[in-house]
Chain A
């Protein structure tokens, strides 16, 4: 079978093709993740100035902001993959959703915890019920709901499909998180990185922030590919077992 004739979308649905791609890409993303996180952490913790108002607490932001961005981006990617799985029956798309979900949940958890640790010295409270925090918390529960649902079926394929539908329904939360700081008067500050007028962050703080965002992204790509590969292996083992009459 020649891969050239297959549309791009479906070429990587072939586990063997994906495996080859993953083995080529993985060393680079692993290296990039280690390098960017190390550099980013060095700049974030040592080689960037303390904020004139927040002092050294501002350094929490270099973890909080990338985690928050990833929590939304990962969910967006899961939703896109879920849609691809439902519309084109793309074989790897549903597996990607499952592989990415625990990572997204972890990013959301890190975002909430880091934000809480920052909130105590800055706002004087671990938690406030403003729209940004509440919608992010709901995102965390959406991740947990997906993780619980996907494993609740005896037939794994059925769990993947039910989970994909749930992810698509939950996507309504994403714009609410993004625009919560504009729609409501929140204690959480409005966007300062992705604004129409460009970033409103000082270059000395922008550098570690961008390094950390790159590091988080490379880490995500690395781990999600490893998880996808292990999911594919698990599926193959299941198929062999069934063929051998074990189950």
Chain B
């Protein structure tokens, strides 16, 4: 366990030293979302309706940005071989990488989202639901993304391929997250949608490490 924690700190430190890695996803998230009012016009009612979907769609795309680097650097310099040989199960390594990825992309998105909500005139009644949906949903995006990064490791044109594999798997998260915000906006209970998101989170936590570790072993063979 302490080995996993050390790996987590090591990954985080590497990410923080390269500040651009940390800023790029959030900057993309903010910029891409702010293009929408410029594209469809600043009409407040329209923006209020579009806001949840826009925030979530750009959040999906923003998590893609840092994914292809998740295992690539360690794969190229041989760190991944050592991690695979170490007594810590590869599944645990995957979870550690997922946690580091979420802290450097998901968490900043979570913090930037309310500001974007203000600018997009998000319904004030839905802020809490949006934050909870992001809190439950973005870790799942990191998990699915880690699987995608593992399975494309060593492939040619990995980046575009990764998006093609991962985006269809992101669809359920997007659907239930935005319907949670939609329900909150109509004064209905967002609880069922959020519970489904939570179940994705738990299922991902159990299943993704095995799938991703199997893919990593294939890449390292």
Q: Which residues of A contact B (CB under 8 A)?
A: 86, 134, 138, 141-142, 144-145, 148-149, 152-154, 158-159, 161-162, 165-166, 168-170, 176
A165 near B155 (CB under 8 angstroms)? Answer: no
A-B contact count (CB 8 A): 56
Question: Which residues of chain A are near B215, meaning CB under 8 Å?
Answer: 162, 165
B164 near A141 (CB under 8 angstroms)? Answer: yes
B190: Cβ under 8 A from any A Cβ: no
Question: Which residues of chain A are near B164, meaning CB under 8 Å?
Answer: 141, 144-145, 148
A162-B155 contact given A168-B211, A169-B211, CB 8 Å threshold: yes
A169 near B218 (CB under 8 angstroms)? Answer: no
B165: Cβ under 8 A from any A Cβ: yes
Question: Which residues of chain A are near B158, meaning CB under 8 Å?
Answer: 152
Q: Please give me the residue from chain B that is nearest to A142 by CB atom.
A: B168
Q: Which residues of B contact A (CB under 8 A)?
A: 147, 151-152, 154-158, 161, 164-165, 167-169, 171-172, 211, 214-215, 218-219, 221
A153 near B156 (CB under 8 angstroms)? Answer: yes
Question: Which residues of chain B are near A158, meaning CB under 8 Å?
Answer: 154, 218-219, 221
Query: What is the interface of chain B mostly: helix, strand, loop, or mixed?
Result: helix
21 A-B Cβ contacts within 8 A? A138-B168, A138-B171, A141-B164, A142-B168, A144-B164, A145-B161, A145-B164, A148-B161, A149-B151, A149-B152, A149-B155, A149-B165, A152-B155, A152-B157, A153-B154, A161-B218, A162-B152, A162-B218, A165-B215, A165-B218, A169-B211
Question: Which residues of chain B are near A166, meaning CB under 8 Å?
Answer: 151, 165
B204 to chain A, nearest CB (A): 11
Besides A153-B154, A158-B218, 12 new A-B residue pairs in contact (Cβ under 8 A), listed by A number: A134-B171, A142-B168, A145-B164, A149-B152, A149-B161, A152-B152, A152-B155, A152-B157, A152-B161, A162-B215, A165-B215, A170-B169
Q: Please give me the residue from chain B that is nearest to A145 by CB atom.
A: B165
Question: Which residues of chain A are near B161, meaning CB under 8 Å?
Answer: 145, 148-149, 152
Question: Which residues of chain A are near B214, meaning CB under 8 Å?
Answer: 86, 165
Question: Which residues of chain B are near A168, meaning CB under 8 Å?
Answer: 211
Question: Which residues of chain B are near A86, meaning CB under 8 Å?
Answer: 214
Q: Please give me the residue from chain B that is nearest to A173 by CB atom.
A: B168
B211 to chain A, nearest CB (A): 5
B211 near A154 (CB under 8 angstroms)? Answer: no
Question: Which residues of chain B are near A170, meaning CB under 8 Å?
Answer: 169
Question: Which residues of chain B are near A161, meaning CB under 8 Å?
Answer: 218
A145-B157 contact given A158-B218, A158-B219, A162-B218, CB 8 Å threshold: no
